[in-house]
Amino acid sequence: MKHGKKYVESAKLIEANKLYDVDEAFSLVVKTAKAKFDESVEAHIKLGVDSRHADQQVRGVVVLPNGTGKTVRVLVFAKGDKIKEAESAGADFAGGEELVTKIQSENWFDFDVIIATPDMMGVVGRLGKVLGPKGLMPNPKSGTVTMDIAKAISDIKAGKIEYRLDKTNIIHCPIGKASFGEEKLAENFRTLMSAILKAKPASAKGQYLKSISVSSTMGPGVRVSTSKVAE
């Protein structure tokens, strides 16, 4: 894969096999984010677990102290007064059956997160085949199936993210924008890592944190020392 001139210049600032501490790593991520737009910053964490086993799944939610820098569009499935509650709390869309029809007939996906009250899950379940592959299906574990609509919306708008293993046992998570600066990015990263460390399955054997890298959208990856994170 051929990289552009800015990427090549940025890559020269990073020592290929060096493992950086958290603050150094984010200093480099900010320096190497040279695109004309405000690049997103992501963490990629490889864990020493096997996601094929139910007892080794690592999944949860965490509210990043400095948010994600992204405007999150929230859709709420609810009935009656809960629709008004959702709208008052800042939901971008709120309703019932008519929204299911809109998604099915118009292939409408102008939203990033779905929250549903428990009594609406029968209706939302009809969308499982289209929402599931996109990672949009509401789930009690992630706090998106709840009667406390206002709190769920508030948390998501404030920077609540879900982390979960993919099939290769890696967690990919957004932790902010390059414009946040190294301190806020490092604070968000430490909050995420604290949650992942606490979520270590009892059945996990051997080294839990295998490798960590952080990067901006267009920038090169910076490897982070797992021993520094686990301290």
pLDDT of residue 179: 95
Same domain, 219 and 175: yes
Same domain, 152 and 91: yes
Q: Please, what is the Cα angle at 79 between 113 and 157, to 5 degrees?
A: 25
pLDDT of residue 227: 83
Tokens for 37? Answer: 């737009």
Q: What are all long-range contacts of 13-18, with beta carbons under 8 Å and residues at least 24 apart?
A: 14/220, 14/222, 18/223
Same domain, 20 and 46: yes
User: Domain containing 219 — which CATH number?
Assistant: 3.30.190.20
Strand partners, 83: none
Write the CB contacts of 190 (distance below 8 Å, at least 6 apart in sequence): 22, 229
Write the CB contacts of 188 (distance below 8 Å, at least 6 apart in sequence): 64, 65, 66, 159, 175, 176, 180
Cβ-based neighbour number of residue 203 at 10 Å: 11
Tokens for 151? Answer: 């709190």
Same domain, 84 and 103: yes
Boundary-marking domain end, from 140, 157, 174: 157
Domain count, the chain: 2
Same domain, 33 and 105: no
Same domain, 171 and 218: yes
If you ran DSSP here, which 8-state letter would residue 77 be given? E
Same domain, 134 and 96: yes
Handedness of CA 56, 61, 65, 67 (dihedral sign): positive
| Structural domain span for residue 186 | 5-68+160-230
Same domain, 209 and 223: yes
pLDDT of residue 4: 66
Same domain, 177 and 225: yes
Same domain, 95 and 138: yes
Percentages helix, strand, coil for the chain, rounded to the nearest 5? 40, 20, 40
Same domain, 191 and 147: no
Boundary-marking domain end, from 121, 136, 157: 157
Boundary-marking domain end, from 111, 138, 157: 157
Same domain, 118 and 11: no
Q: What is the mean pLDDT of each run of 10 residues along the chain (231 residues)?
A: 64 79 92 90 95 89 91 94 95 94 94 95 92 90 92 91 91 94 96 94 90 91 84 51
pTM of the full structure: 0.79
Q: Is-contact 222 19, C-beta < 8 A? A: no
